Amino acid sequence: MPSLDSLNFNTLGLRSQDENENARSWLTDEGDNLTLYFYEEVPDIEADTGEITQIRSFYRNFAELNNAAILQVDSMEKSGLHFLYQIMKTPQEEGGTAYVGTITFPFRDYSYVIRVQCLEKSEIGFREAEILAEKVRDGTVSVNEQSQSLKGWSADPYNKTVVTRQMANISENSEYDVRFPDHPLSRLRRQLRHILSSVILDQELLQAPAYKYEPPLNQAR
């Protein structure tokens, strides 16, 4: 029977935190949270995992309902299995931004989710301010003095016609991670890469029936 132990990744350097039958969590030296979840129910992903446009639309709608924005949503493959990779951000009540990344392995009857959360706690807005100043200087971003809005700064990463309450901005592009290695988004991407490079699924999972989204009958027609 599949269990929390059926999926593993390298946790060297992480401090073990809470654990129960369906969740196991760790803490990094920087105070970031990592959690592995095992959901013993049919995944609630209302999209075909092989159709990236559907997947991105599903997660974009989920983000909008939760006052968040998508920064990256991809469908990838590991050991012949499809999995979903996504990064979102949401504003914190006390200021700053929370960045959350998830790696989801959906199967027909259950799923595994690895969740990483990195919070902006100090030097809030420093990365954004520095990159914004550069982009205003080189003309990539313009400021509307009357409305105090920025043109060319924020956009949905996959559909430029989409406008949501929260939006990704240029400073959150991965190319800037090397300049801001201690920023929570840089740490998040680094942790996700480390997890993906070391994740191992046992043989039972590799042979388990894959998740297949079945749209409601009225939608299918």
* CATH code assigned at 16: 3.40.1000.10
Kind plus residue range of the DSSP H or E element containing 215: none
Q: Tell me, yes or no, if the pTM score tops 0.75.
A: yes
Domain assignment present for residue 136? The answer is no
pLDDT of residue 219: 56
User: What average pLDDT does the segment 153-172 reach?
Assistant: 95
Domain assignment present for residue 57? The answer is yes
How far is residue 37's CA from residue 106's CA, in Å, rounded to a whole number? 12
Query: With contact defined as beta carbons under 8 Å apart, do 70 and 89 qualify?
Result: no
Domain assignment present for residue 55? The answer is yes
Question: Considering its fold, how many domains does the chain have in total?
Answer: 1
Domain assignment present for residue 203? The answer is yes
Is the confidence at residue 195, as pLDDT, over 80?
A: yes
Is the confidence at residue 218, as pLDDT, over 80?
A: no
Query: With contact defined as beta carbons under 8 Å apart, do 118 and 32 qualify?
Result: yes
Q: What is the mean pLDDT of the chain?
A: 94
Domain assignment present for residue 34? The answer is yes
Domain assignment present for residue 115? The answer is yes
Domain assignment present for residue 105? The answer is yes
Domain carrying residue 95: 4-121+180-220
